[in-house]
Amino acid sequence: MSAKIDRVSSLARLHDTSAPGITFHTISGQSYMEATARAIGLENLVTGWAEHKPGFKGHARRDDILRTAISPWVGEAFQYLHREIQTLISEVHPAVIVLDTIFRPAIDATRVGSRRHVFIAPGSLSDDLAFEQPNGQGFWKYPSVGSDAPFPVPWHRIPENIYLGLRQTYIVDMLPQWWRRATSLLPNPGVYTSKAFLDGRELWIAPHIPGATLPLDVIPEGFVGTNSIVLRSAAAAQQDPELAEWLQRAPTLLVNMGSMYTYTQDRASVMAQAIQVVLAQTKWLTIDSTAMFETGQIIASVHHGGANSYHEALA
């Protein structure tokens, strides 16, 4: 991340020589991936931990994943990050704090200090606002997390979707609230879902692209839908002239499986075998995905279904 921040700073100064640099502050507590791996008893976070059967057959496993995913930090690990971020906020004294929607220690530390803040969500607004639609549409129209039902949900799968939706609401909405009340971490614990994140002053920003995301009847005040949110970067030729020159030789297929997981040897071998011919003729990418697309040489993007990779490709 520090290297990406340096690239953004350099790019800003190319456009405006008087632009100040970005100061990167390192947080020493557990990262999201470290906390998740520890919570599920693994040394490294691998793709298999989030696997489950779709729909009702996999709901129990899905529920376990949700409980961990919404906030994997527990006990002293959470408290340590909470205190560390509070100290950092006091030292920096920011005019506004931009929050990741799953970095809960930072969210709590920001709330305790009553700091002005905004949220940036990686998914689309429909991911956040399905349950805010009129007439309970989140239960019978929009597929629940982990469901393989299409949109809108067919009538014969609505009972299953309602059940999954109720369990999802309980895990995501109620458990965090009860946990915070039990630990008395906050003076006035709240339910940290998209509906309760805003208090009339903050914004919730997420992509919402017609034709590329599920439509919404209602977008509440404070929620802002945008085009794809991608990292602006220097041109490919500036980042790696040799690789940029290689890209010009022929149309290229970009395979981007994201940075969230550490792949097991078996899974990595399968992927390597699938693209063996390509791997035998090139090296690992040293250019940001956005800059790769801007070369005009990428004819298709293969990715893992993550929000960032999806929206980068759309942009």
pLDDT tens digit sequence for 261-289: 666 778 778 877 877 766 666 676 678 88
> Residue 113: inside a domain, yes or no?
yes
Number of structural domains, the chain? 2
Same domain, 75 and 103: yes
- Lowest-confidence segment of 137-146, 220-229, 241-250, 279-288 by average pLDDT: 279-288
- Amino acid identity of residue 121, one-letter, is A
Same domain, 106 and 251: no
Is the Cα dihedral 202, 205, 210, 214 positive or negative?
A: negative
Same domain, 220 and 277: no
Same domain, 199 and 256: no
Give the Cα-Cα-Cα angle 8, 10, 12 (nearest 5 degrees): 70
Q: What share of the chain is helix, strand, coil (3-state, %, to 5)?
A: 50, 10, 40
Structure tokens at 52: 């489950």
Same domain, 265 and 180: no
Is 257 exposed, middle or buried (CB count within 10 Å of its CB: 0-12, 13-18, 19+)? middle
Q: What is the extent of the structural domain holding 205?
A: 31-226
Last residue of a domain, one of 171, 203, 226: 226
Measuring CA to CA, how many Å separate 170 from each of 124, 191, 207?
A: 22, 11, 26
Is 26 exposed, middle or buried (CB count within 10 Å of its CB: 0-12, 13-18, 19+)? exposed
Q: Check residue 102 and give its pLDDT.
A: 82
> Residue 178: inside a domain, yes or no?
yes
Same domain, 81 and 178: yes
Is 28 exposed, middle or buried (CB count within 10 Å of its CB: 0-12, 13-18, 19+)? exposed
Q: How far apart are CA 94 and CA 98, in angstroms?
A: 10
For residue 224, what are the β-bridge partners?
A: 205
Q: Check residue 215 and give its pLDDT.
A: 93
> Residue 65: inside a domain, yes or no?
yes
b/e burial code for range 45-61 (CB count within 10 A of at least 16 → b): bbeebbebeebbebbee
> Residue 16: inside a domain, yes or no?
no
> Residue 85: inside a domain, yes or no?
yes
pLDDT tens digit sequence for 289-305: 888 888 888 888 887 77
> Residue 262: inside a domain, yes or no?
yes
Same domain, 192 and 249: no
Same domain, 115 and 261: no
Same domain, 157 and 288: no
Q: Check residue 137 and give its pLDDT.
A: 93
> Residue 23: inside a domain, yes or no?
no
How close are the terminal C-alpha atoms of the chain, in Å? 22
Last residue of a domain, one of 169, 194, 226: 226
> Per the confidence metrics, is the pTM higher than 0.75?
no
Q: Check residue 43 and give its pLDDT.
A: 66
Query: How much is the mean pLDDT over the chain?
Result: 80
Residue 154 banded pLDDT, cuts 50, 70, 90:
very high
Same domain, 60 and 172: yes
Same domain, 197 and 276: no
Last residue of a domain, one of 192, 226, 260: 226
> Residue 208: inside a domain, yes or no?
yes
Same domain, 208 and 246: no
- DSSP state for residue 203 in the 8-state scheme: E
